[in-house]
Chains A and B, each alone.
Chain A
Amino acid sequence: LAPWVPVVGLEIHAQISSNSKLFSGSQVQFAAPPNSLVSFFDASVPGTLPVLNRRCVEAAVMTGLALNCSINKKSLFDRKHYFYADLPAGYQITQQRVPIAVNGSLSYSLCIDNKMSQMVTKTVRIKQIQLEQDSGKSLHDDTRSQTLVDLNRAGVGLMEVVMEPDLCCGEEAAAAVRELQLILQTLGSSQAVMAEGQLRVDANVSVHHPGETYGVRTEVKNINSIRFLARAVDYEIQRQIEELENGGTILNETRAFDSKLGCTVPMRDKEGKQDYRFMPEPNLPPLILYDEKSLPANMNHQQVVNIDCIRERLPDLPSVKRAKLVERYGILPEHSFTLLNEDGLAEFFENVVKQTQMKPKKVIGWILKDLLSYLKQHSLTVKESPVSSLLLADLLNLLETKEISSPAAKQVLVELWKGEGKTPLEIVKEKKLELIEDQKELEEICQAVIDGQENEVIMVVLG
């Protein structure tokens, strides 16, 4: 059978981390009482007009710069029309003609063959980043045949990041999104927590034979975690391949990922192709951004977004942070990935290193194997760790000064997990785990052991 080439393109919506919404002054807050954060504009009360939120523009510029995009000094706003209960105005304000940033790239890393020791760097091209409004939420209450509408989210600022279809499987998709998530969190432009709907991913999937034109693509929605993203993409690729190999066809449709069943199903409510009747948003003039060169001398700084200023203030991106960790501490690249992958872990590691004589290359083992696996087993975040960096550092110091052995240290750690407030030294004393240095004492212990195991001794002597 001829091989199949899967093609995966992602559209990611990241909720902008800002105090107020994209075009109105109402607050942005997760899980507030329904319809408590709705301004007249958000509810599409007639006669209200959009006013652009400066912070949202800055967030988009930051993100664009971090993703190596060209920032469009002039971008435009458009209306995208469709009727839905959670879209009060009957249109969404977005940037369809000229978005704020274009032509960027995102580098991410994958492990080859599931071995952490072999990482390869890949790149996915970013087509564009556009600013747009989020919709409200509608909950369908089938028992009472009604739809409940909550407009708290209506009008919250989103950055839509559109990737070129450079990905080929679930693993790549997951890795790329994970890296994007880290970047957004580092920038602070979005908190990007998928569980809170701050990061939403739609996957466009198609398959074709090498050399032939791209196949019909489906859009997969309703993906609620990075893990599900990988599964949804892989499932859909498989489904399409099987369908085509059985002589079937792929419909250009939207499918939802069902996480319980682990498969994609056609979505109801979505009827084929919609004509969104795009039209320029007449109430918003073109968005003009400046840099040092183009900034007019007498401009009111409150009214200006300066790309160069934003570039200067960009924090170290994850890739830079990782490189610095590797360089400063001599750890392996794959170690740096794991450190950054867990919220707070890199900081924890650095704190331990600061407080111990043990070499970072050795500390890392304790962090990644002992600490991390315990946290994972008990579903704890680094912040929730009962063992603080100070405690671990104390423990590692005992090990470094050879007061205890490595196995003993592990035993102490087990005790520390209980979080009873004892210091490592106290536990060592309690459990009598001190290393014995005295030669005579050691001989006595060995002799006692030998004396107690006559048969084994004979076997050993006989070879």
Chain B
Amino acid sequence: AAVKGALRFQVSAALKEGRVSPTELCQRCLSLIKSTKFLNAYITVVEEIALKQAEESEKRYRRGMPLGALDGIPIAVKDNFNTAGIETTCASNMLKGYISPYNATVVQKLLDQGAVLLGKTNLDEFAMGSGSTDGVFGPVRNPWSYSRQYKEKSVKKSHSEDEESNWVITGGSSGGSAAAVSSFTCFAALGSDTGGSTRNPAAHCGVVGLKPTYGLISRHGLIPLVNSMDVPGILTRCVDDAAVMLGSLAGHDPKDSTTIQDNFKPFELPSLTDVSKLSIGIPKEYHAPGLSSEILALWSKAADLFKNAGAKVIEVSLPHTRYSIVCYHVLCTAEVASNMARFDGLEYGHRSDMNKSTESMYAATRREGFNDVVRGRILSGNYFLLKQNYENYFVKAQKVRRLIADDFVKVFRSGVDILLTPTTLSDAVPYTEFIKEDNRTRSTQDDILTQAANMAGLPAINVPTALSERGLPLGLQFIGRAFQEKQLLTVAKWFEKQVKFPMIQLEEVKRHNCGVFQHQKSASFS
């Protein structure tokens, strides 16, 4: 239902005023998806379903009764969320052909608000990875690889070399969703975030990536990676849009016992002008090994921005940060080993032809269904869960996790409102370079700046900040207090306004660009 005084967005306004119709919007997005197929951002595009939803939305607008700000807005959903009647693969052979029998709560909420579901986006298999390169449908390409900004800056080694070999990764694991939002094929997308899987690709693709507080948004229907850390993530082109999405999705779900019981009230994002009452913390441990000098400079510049605007900017310490990756590996692999145990070929998904015995069928199915990354994590996880190892690994990691979470509690208790950190160590690297290291190594490197927020269950957001020397997006991260998304987003919005991140200049988008995006600086639905 429309909330009085709620945020009204440019596209929403355009829809309401009839300047563009939901079906036009939908068709344009579907068309753009086709033109940008080389990005490989979508695994499944549900053209007929989307058009039908758009038609329904149109009827509502004609009657003057839209369901809310999201009515008619085209969205995409990461392919690890269950979508009734639509294939949900998790980019794995294990679930190829698996048609979800139900909608994830977040999907249902979006549909109930009239959002138009365009399709399911690509990811690393079962959300394990930081590049969106390890799924069975192939890697996702960062739209910025094809942007004028990147092409201008890239040095061609030879004439024969073209974009084909020079394209950069999206980051992961929600790379498909990030690419979809970044390339304008949808106005918002759902991702998931367990160790940074929404924020990392958001940074690399120049979009807003919000990781909400654990327990705020229902995980019912999200195929889990690490139940105690997973959250549905929100990817949009601006902070205001993220707030609208959050308002539609947050709240207690009786189907998810880990959601908080308290009532959630969707909020209006104030346009902050005065930051003098804010205290921004700069955690020194986030000056991590491998952090590019570019990002370091940008981070410093951002801190100065706040300082010059009157905010209190202080250095803080989160001493246990350096243990978070190791801790994460133990806890993540243990939960993965457990969560993947259900994939045996019996009830759904891939089943091997091997039928000599139940055991051999299980073994063959799991070998055929899972890629190396998944199998590696299962094996590690089972090792840590063995009786003789449980105390030394799992329990120990739980204790370290508590220490990491307490670091944040202490800092926030000392008067700091928001933490400002980099999101990634560098801008997006070319695919050919990324795959030189294995998934585990990459994850270890890339998760360092985002992982701890998942350990502590805190909300965090990537805000696109500037372009790198190579013409690729650089983002910075804000981490907030638990359940204080309003404060977090308010600060993020202020920052977004200050930095004025440029719009991607993509040929394909220009070609499809008529009217809808014309008068918008950041081409959002806000």
Q: List the interface of chain A (C-beta within 8 A of B).
A: 40, 43-52, 79, 81, 83, 85, 88-91, 147, 149, 275, 277-279, 282-285, 303
Q: A91-B338, A282-B335 are in contact. List 7 more A-B contacts (CB 8 A).
A: A47-B224, A51-B254, A81-B341, A85-B346, A89-B341, A90-B344, A283-B257
Whether the pair A46, B338 counts as a contact (CB closer than 8 A) is: no
- Among residues of A, the one whose C-beta sits closest to the C-beta of B337 is A277
Complex formed: what's the CA distance from A147 to B344 in Å?
14
Q: A151: shortest Cβ distance to chain B, in Å?
A: 8
Selected A-B contacts with CB under 8 Å, 19 pairs: A44-B347, A46-B90, A46-B223, A46-B348, A47-B100, A47-B223, A49-B258, A50-B257, A52-B257, A81-B385, A83-B359, A90-B340, A90-B342, A91-B338, A277-B390, A279-B335, A279-B338, A282-B258, A283-B258
Stretch in B127-135, B177-185, B214-222 with 4+ CB within 8 Å of A: B214-222
Complex formed: what's the CA distance from A79 to B228 in Å?
14
B387 at the interface (CB under 8 A from A): yes
- Among residues of A, the one whose C-beta sits closest to the C-beta of B103 is A47
Complex formed: what's the CA distance from A148 to B347 in Å?
12
Name the B residues within 8 Å of A284 (CB-CB).
Answer: 257
Complex formed: what's the CA distance from A44 to B255 in Å?
15
Q: List the interface of chain B (C-beta within 8 A of A).
A: 81-82, 88, 90, 95, 98, 100-102, 104, 219-224, 226-228, 254-258, 261, 334-335, 337-338, 340-344, 346-348, 358-359, 362, 382, 385-387, 390, 394
Whether the pair B385, A279 counts as a contact (CB closer than 8 A) is: yes
Q: B312: shortest Cβ distance to chain A, in Å?
A: 36
Whether the pair B255, A49 counts as a contact (CB closer than 8 A) is: yes
- Among residues of B, the one whose C-beta sits closest to the C-beta of A84 is B358
Complex formed: what's the CA distance from A40 to B342 in Å?
13
Closest 3 CB pairs of A and B: A90-B341, A277-B385, A282-B227
Q: B379: shortest Cβ distance to chain A, in Å?
A: 12
Whether the pair B390, A278 counts as a contact (CB closer than 8 A) is: yes
Name the A residues within 8 Å of B343 (CB-CB).
Answer: 46
Whether the pair A89, B346 counts as a contact (CB closer than 8 A) is: no
- Among residues of B, the one whose C-beta sits closest to the C-beta of A51 is B257
Contact of B221 among A47, A52, A83, A282 (CB under 8 A): A47
Whether the pair A48, B220 counts as a contact (CB closer than 8 A) is: yes
Complex formed: what's the CA distance from A45 to B342 in Å?
8
Name the B residues within 8 Å of A45 (CB-CB).
Answer: 101-102, 347-348
Whether the pair B257, A49 counts as a contact (CB closer than 8 A) is: yes
Contact of B346 among A48, A49, A149, A279 (CB under 8 A): A149
Q: B449: shortest Cβ distance to chain A, in Å?
A: 24
Contacts A40-B101, A79-B338, A83-B344 hold; do A47 and B222 have CB atoms under 8 A apart? yes
Name the A residues within 8 Å of B342 (CB-CB).
Answer: 44, 46, 88-90
Whether the pair A275, B386 counts as a contact (CB closer than 8 A) is: yes
- Among residues of A, the one whose C-beta sits closest to the C-beta of B395 is A280
Q: A318: shortest Cβ distance to chain B, in Å?
A: 36
Name the B residues within 8 Å of A48 (CB-CB).
Answer: 220-221
Q: B105: shortest Cβ distance to chain A, in Å?
A: 10
Complex formed: what's the CA distance from A49 to B5 in Å?
35
Q: A146: shortest Cβ distance to chain B, in Å?
A: 8
Name the A residues within 8 Å of B82 (CB-CB).
Answer: 46-47
Name the A residues within 8 Å of B98 (CB-CB).
Answer: 46
Whether the pair A46, B95 counts as a contact (CB closer than 8 A) is: yes
Complex formed: what's the CA distance from A46 to B81 in Å?
9
Name the A residues within 8 Å of B101 (CB-CB).
Answer: 40, 45
Complex formed: what's the CA distance from A45 to B341 in Å?
12
Complex formed: what's the CA distance from A91 to B381 in Å?
14
Complex formed: what's the CA distance from A79 to B340 in Å?
13
Contact of A51 among B81, B255, B347 (CB under 8 A): B255
Whether the pair A277, B102 counts as a contact (CB closer than 8 A) is: no
Complex formed: what's the CA distance from A52 to B257 in Å?
8
Whether the pair A47, B362 counts as a contact (CB closer than 8 A) is: no
Q: A426: shortest Cβ distance to chain B, in Å?
A: 63
* Among A43, A81, A277, A284, residue most surrounded by chain B Cβ atoms (within 10 Å): A277
Name the B residues within 8 Å of A79 (CB-CB).
Answer: 338
- Among residues of A, the one whose C-beta sits closest to the C-beta of B341 is A90
Complex formed: what's the CA distance from A233 to B226 in Å?
44
Complex formed: what's the CA distance from A288 to B82 in Å?
31
Complex formed: what's the CA distance from A56 to B348 in Å?
29
Complex formed: what's the CA distance from A47 to B232 in Å?
12
* Among A47, A50, A283, residue most surrounded by chain B Cβ atoms (within 10 Å): A47
Name the A residues within 8 Å of B219 (CB-CB).
Answer: 47, 49
Contact of A88 among B100, B347, B382 (CB under 8 A): B347
Name the B residues within 8 Å of A147 (CB-CB).
Answer: 358
* Among B219, B341, B359, residue most surrounded by chain A Cβ atoms (within 10 Å): B341
Complex formed: what's the CA distance from A49 to B222 in Å?
10
Complex formed: what's the CA distance from A278 to B221 in Å?
24
Name the B residues within 8 Å of A91 (CB-CB).
Answer: 338, 341
Contact of A279 among B102, B358, B359, B394 (CB under 8 A): B394
Name the A residues within 8 Å of B95 (CB-CB).
Answer: 46
Q: A243: shortest Cβ distance to chain B, in Å?
A: 29
Whether the pair B335, A88 counts as a contact (CB closer than 8 A) is: no
Contacts A277-B382, A279-B338, A279-B385 hold; do A47 and B227 have CB atoms under 8 A apart? no
Contact of B220 among A49, A88, A278, A279 (CB under 8 A): A49
Q: A274: shortest Cβ distance to chain B, in Å?
A: 10
Name the A residues within 8 Å of B341 (CB-CB).
Answer: 81, 83, 89-91
Complex formed: what's the CA distance from A83 to B343 in Å?
10
Q: A300: shortest Cβ distance to chain B, in Å?
A: 8
* Among B100, B226, B254, residue most surrounded by chain A Cβ atoms (within 10 Å): B100
Complex formed: what's the CA distance from A49 to B219 in Å?
8
Name the A residues within 8 Å of B90 (CB-CB).
Answer: 46
Name the B residues within 8 Å of A51 (CB-CB).
Answer: 254-255, 257
Q: A284: shortest Cβ distance to chain B, in Å?
A: 6
Name the A residues within 8 Å of B81 (CB-CB).
Answer: 47
Name the B residues within 8 Å of A47 (CB-CB).
Answer: 81-82, 100, 104, 219-224
Q: B232: shortest Cβ distance to chain A, in Å?
A: 11
Q: A35: shortest Cβ distance to chain B, in Å?
A: 10
Whether the pair B228, A282 counts as a contact (CB closer than 8 A) is: yes
Name the A residues within 8 Å of B222 (CB-CB).
Answer: 47
Complex formed: what's the CA distance from A121 to B255 in Å?
48
Complex formed: what's the CA distance from A43 to B344 in Å?
12
Complex formed: what's the CA distance from A45 to B100 in Å?
9
Name the A residues within 8 Å of B258 (CB-CB).
Answer: 49, 282-283, 285
Whether the pair A279, B334 counts as a contact (CB closer than 8 A) is: yes
Complex formed: what's the CA distance from A166 to B295 in Å?
69
- Among residues of A, the one whose C-beta sits closest to the C-beta of B362 is A83
Name the A residues within 8 Å of B224 (CB-CB).
Answer: 46-47
Whether the pair B358, A283 counts as a contact (CB closer than 8 A) is: no
Name the A residues within 8 Å of B226 (CB-CB).
Answer: 282
Name the B residues within 8 Å of A50 (CB-CB).
Answer: 257
Complex formed: what's the CA distance from A51 to B98 in Å?
24
Whether the pair B338, A43 counts as a contact (CB closer than 8 A) is: no
